[in-house]
Structure 1
């Protein structure tokens, strides 16, 4: 039987686009809207489950209002959803992952799984999930190191982690914290390794993809370097050990435009510039 699931990450709930002035307050809603589009896509494609690879929140102690928003959002998820913490919202004691008005409020929702321990669990569809939640913002250890070495075969094996895939950037700009070994998926016999941290999804010709490892990117872009942000990944495995079929699907609505240097030397220049911004908002 094939396995069909959605890989997403880096929601950063509570983040606002503070540079846009009066609209900054309402901009936080845009991320909630993007996640609801993920719910719709999961229902339309009959996804077996959704994995969320960290940085669900923009902070490990979001406001009371944002904890309430997140509970309401997750309560509407139409399929099982598995969430882990990232470096922005590490699951240390006292964090949102253990607070009554978030974790406690979700206990009665059988489709929502807040995973705070690095231990294998079996999904309702029979796949083995190997979650690697981040419990500290800066960690020099590899959170995936605990996943036991294995060969692919008896059950689908899906890893879920948040961090920096070693050697991901051709520039060689590797980080020293939250580093994930590039051979993780092959060493652990994973059919797929779902990552979060980098806000653009992994293209199919990247060396990480050849190792069954992908970043999903953020569902709503937040900076101009999120060149492949605003998407989620639909993952299909036809059989254990088969090469995953991965398709990026857009869910974001924010578009960032680089207008270069703008010189305003008269009121007419200002009016033309304002008109350009208004046109961009309507597209």
Structure 2
């Protein structure tokens, strides 16, 4: 360690805060700070009682029948840390398939415990707009404002999306808006493969129940998840694809995410071209 390094240590409180901010940490979990440098206290051995309790008596016929009549546990009991990604996806698919209406699906999503993001999220964010609308916009994941309000696309990028939709004659009355993830990734980081697999069956079922005539996938993760695209969003945007699944065939277009447009305003010309393509397709379909 040189002299400069020695005089700069330990870091100041401001430097620590800036380090966490750059790492994407923008909120704290828990009311009291925890010193992770301290070893946990030793666990006390569990003493066995001197006179152990007698074994439970065999269940009577009435008790056995009552136990058999109890409903099975719902998918909410899934613990992601104990299951593989494929097992979590299977549990999500079973829970989603059992739903016959959008309110039932929303309840199943809120009860689902298979996605680890739920533990750090404030709200479950599902959809806004008209579920019977011909156009469905599907983004990537809730951000800070969405997590706080429990609705998708309500922050700065959502306000830009609303203005873009208004420019082609669309609003919440004739558009349905959702995300492929229903809980906010901490620090607005990219979603992991496991998180996408845990939520994918629910967004697929939401599409089945809403039955949109046209889908717009906002962002690379939405396009890759629903359309199977492997190229970047700047290459796939503006070109029509097909959302295909179990007899469903819906024209779909990848769009640049509104958050990307806020960071790169120079590409708004391309985004406007894509919105005109959406408007033309809806007009062609008489919608």
TM score, norm. by length of structure 2: 0.27
From the CA coordinates, give the structure whose radius of gyration is larger.
2
Higher strand proportion: 1
